[in-house]
Amino acid sequence: MDPCFETATRLARAIRNGRLSSVEATKGHLERIARLNGPINALVVVDGDGAMKAARAADRARAKGKGSRKNAGLGPLHGVPITIKEAFDVNGLRTTSSHPPLKDNVAREDATLVARLRAAGAVILGKTNVPELCADFQTDSPLFGTTKNAWDAGRTAGGSTGGGAVAVAARLSPLEIGSDIGGSVRNPAHYNGIFALKPTEWRVPGHGHVPDLPGRTRTTRYMGVFGPLARSVEDLETALRIVAGPDGNDAEVAPVPLGPSTALKPRDLRIAVVESNPLVKVSADTAAVVQATAQLLAKAGAKVKRAEPAGLDWRQGWDDWSDLFLYQNRALQPLSEREPTFSVGDSPDPSARSTARTARLDLAEFFAVLDRRDRIMRQCESFLDDYDAWLMPVMPDAAFIRQKQTEPLRIGGVDHPYFFAGTAYNFLANLTGQPSIVLPCGFSREGLPIGLQLTGKRWGDARLLGAAKVLEKLLPPCPVPPAYA
């Protein structure tokens, strides 16, 4: 077997059963990284010596526990090589989040998620590229350079977990851990033809993730979540079970049991579908993939209906998501940095208007945003009383040719403000805190992958995983980019 073309859970089973050693799996991935990573720049830190040391230790541990009963004590990712988003602390390695002032910052301990993955037996190959402070859906780092899309080097890799998505798609890593406050695990999964999970808000702790900046007050307390990118739903579930739960650092993380994922059949599913929303109309290719996927589910026996919460105000929801994000992001900014944006409230760009609204750090307005957030959360939760999942686009179109943030994003021949268009479909699940899973569902006419997201009820991650497994079985296998087949 070629370890680079196996999923993480299949590798774990092969290592556990003795059909493959961790050294073989790790060496295979390191050799592939050495051969292919340079042009796409997915990994920006490769810890070859550390990975091989951990792989040898994993093989020794398996040898000591040889036999089915003793091997039962091995972790669910025992000996499996994986990658970590550069924004997470990995003990002894740099953590910069591509922020030049942190270029020499070396982590002194593992982030909670990294420590849990190590305890589950994972071998860390290295760290993957991000845009500065994880604040873009292109991955262009001032410290590490640009990550290229796995399907077309001229197009965006997505972001902010762009390096990780490309690493998984190009078969440089079977599993990546990322973060998402506005689509940062979901849009790169969509752009590169892989799977991703944004869990329920506050299910997974973010201790050791930058931003927030080391040594400064923690301000990111709403909407930011942490989850896996992989090449199967099974891998998403395995990773979530490892990293979920309180850690004693992030007080918001609740001790809510994940529970078993529900074994479902197509006829068990009730799926609501949104083909396009009123903020940004999707491309014809994206609409076709939504239609084809809805038909695929319906033909298999699922109850499929075009529906959305009654009275849902998409524009107000986007404004509230943007304002809440910026209130947290700007909370520690001095007045001298905020004051120049006081006057842009009449801009045609919704992002600029949000920047102006939040610049004064008005506490009453901050709580008003939270009140409106509560209302839209109740609205969407109530809507999902009648459905197992809500199917919709991840992004308005397939991966676009890389461009400047100051340039409009053109979709279906129409120009839209860059950040507004890039978050028009991902923002909602962050605002409501609901879990969302991306699956590769089709292709554009240019041969670029198009993913769709399934969103479920808060704390309903297990049932959502069950629904995603049903759709996964109806779809072709996770695609391989032609250059990396």
8 Å CB contact between 193 and 479: yes
Give CA 408 to chain center in angstroms. Answer: 24
DSSP 108: S
Q: Is the dihedral of CA 208, 212, 213, 217 positive or negative?
A: negative
Please name the helix (run of DSSP H) or strand (run of DSSP E) that holds residue 389, with its range, or none: strand 389-393
CA distances to 134, 155, 477 from 282, in Å: 25, 18, 25
d(CA 139, CA 234): 27
Active-site residue flag, 179: no
Active-site residue flag, 160: yes
8 Å CB contact between 440 and 292: no
8 Å CB contact between 242 and 227: no
Catalytic member of 21, 85, 148, 444: 85
Read out DSSP for 148-217?
Answer: BPSS-TTBB--SSSHHHHHHHHTTS-SEEEEEESSSTTHHHHHHHT-EEEE--TTSS--TTBSSSPTTS-
CA distances to 393, 414, 481, 482 from 151, in Å: 19, 24, 5, 7
Catalytic member of 22, 97, 160, 444: 160
- Paired tokens of 287: 């609409």
Quote the longest CA-to-CA distance of the chain: 70
- Paired tokens of 229: 């990118």
Catalytic member of 184, 276, 354, 436: 184
Query: Which of the residues are catalytic?
Result: 85, 160, 184
